[in-house]
Amino acid sequence: MKLIQKSGLFVAAALLAFACGKPGDTVETTDAQDVAAGSGVTLAISPETSSVNWTGYKPTGKHWGIIPVTSGEVMVEGTTLTGARFAFDITGLRIDDIPADNENYGKLWGHLQSADFFDAANFPEAVFEMTGVEPFSAGSIEDKDEFETENTPASDSELAGNPTHWISGNLTMRGTTKNIKFPATVSIVDGAVSAKAGFNIDRTAWGLAYGDESNAVDKAKDQFIYNTVSVGFDIKAN
């Protein structure tokens, strides 16, 4: 696999961090880093069994769904993950909490595709490229403090499951690339790779700033959308 070569991408001074604590315990977003060169065997990602899931929150409710993975590959050397890249289709985004034949589905889908959020007309694809991987050490994941409502975003420690590794990678959405670091459960058995992860990002780092909670004059009035979005990767390759 030829991963994009060194190109400054998904760590200088941290622009956004979703938790406080030791570097190894922190889910964070920073400037773009060099993409991992990758070595060993290249395995194709299976779009049929891979997906990206998302959950967005507001004080009065939440929405969730998936974004289909369209292509990608991972590189492994023995039982070690050395590189990965996959693309997902923003225009194929699905909302799973509203029936597809409900008029509100179309309204929300259209809004998410608009310039208020993903600006899919100009940026129909998002890409993740791995920049680093390290073992997950035992211990707790530091969580970000959130304004509490009936729909406070799930915490990183809730979403993480039982991780085996910390993975870092450049995530490009809406023409912006940031490096994200998150815990993941990675399994490499008999030439097949399975990687699952759940973590939070701050959507405004990629310009998805509609309803930015930092602009809320009075959060008690519930007139904002949480900047925190929960993201899950479920990637399979063989």
Q: What is the pTM of this model?
A: 0.87
What's residue 138's pLDDT? Answer: 75
Looking at this protein, which amino acid is placed at residue 199? F
* Sign, Cα dihedral of 160, 162, 166, 172: negative
What's residue 88's pLDDT? Answer: 97
pLDDT for residue 236 is more than 60 = yes
How far is 71 from 87, CA to CA, in rounded Å? 6
Average pLDDT over residues 16-21: 31
CATH of domain 16-212+220-237: 2.40.128.110
Average pLDDT over residues 54-78: 97
Residue bearing the bigger pLDDT, 16 or 187 = 187
What's residue 4's pLDDT? Answer: 34
Task: Return the minimum-mean-pLDDT range out of 161-170, 183-192, 216-225.
Answer: 216-225
